[in-house]
Structure 1
């Protein structure tokens, strides 16, 4: 039996609505990806949940697809123009009309911090030293010296730990060899009484064997005579 048709209306139950949103969102993004691969099409999908959370997919680059979309003549249907205006807000400025909080100051602060860290990294590598005065160069040299000493101490600690590990492994191997020697010696001691107990029997067997050989020799001599 086929599945019955689902009435397209808002789902009142919050949990069911969230589950349906997750499933259909995943299916929509999957179909968009398949469409871009199978048909070599440029696809961009933007989805906002009921709580305002953003989900998106772009076959190449979201900025590239949106820029290409904005270049399309605005003589198309009004719905397309309205969507293009909303997409422009999302793509460029992230205006508060879309997001409840303006993130631009935080983004600017993070970018400045990233640029500062990048510059510090270059200077620690001995690059981009132009414009530094004597005190700044001296401070940088002090930082590098402390860093080198820390690296050396860490290297010595690693070597010491490796040596200690090798020593423990050597002691373990020695103990295992000692145990094997004791086991071999125990086997030798346990086999000696058995050999001593069976030594008379072995002598009697050899004596009987010699007597049989002597009798046989005599018989052969008499037969030749």
Structure 2
């Protein structure tokens, strides 16, 4: 699946068949893409908007401007008169309805994320199954491990810094 002799190599551009590998690749590449969008906005003072839908329909977005919708509106105004946008101009009611349904879907996703966040902080666990509680526990253990590693690295860095001064 990989070409080239480098450390990482190059991945052949085709669908990854293994579902787990595909999900891992999606997650890593999505994170990298979001990071690059952020860097482009900061380093070049560019107005950047990025919208990604996962294979399962989850929405991931980034906007360098305070309001993603303003960036989208700016884009739509900039592309007025193009054939792709003419359908939206001809059928404003359909566009409004589509925006409303997307807003409703986003609200449901926000509610789900907030519920998950509450569960991670130990609230609202009464409705969780044993399996869900076990998954929450594993996630918290992973997070705690990462935090401890970061703390330990900072402490080691500080010790080295103090040794160099002393």
Q: Report the TM-score when normalising by structure 2.
A: 0.48
Q: Which structure has the larger Rg over C-alpha atoms?
A: 1
Higher helix share: 1
Report the TM-score when normalising by structure 1.
0.37
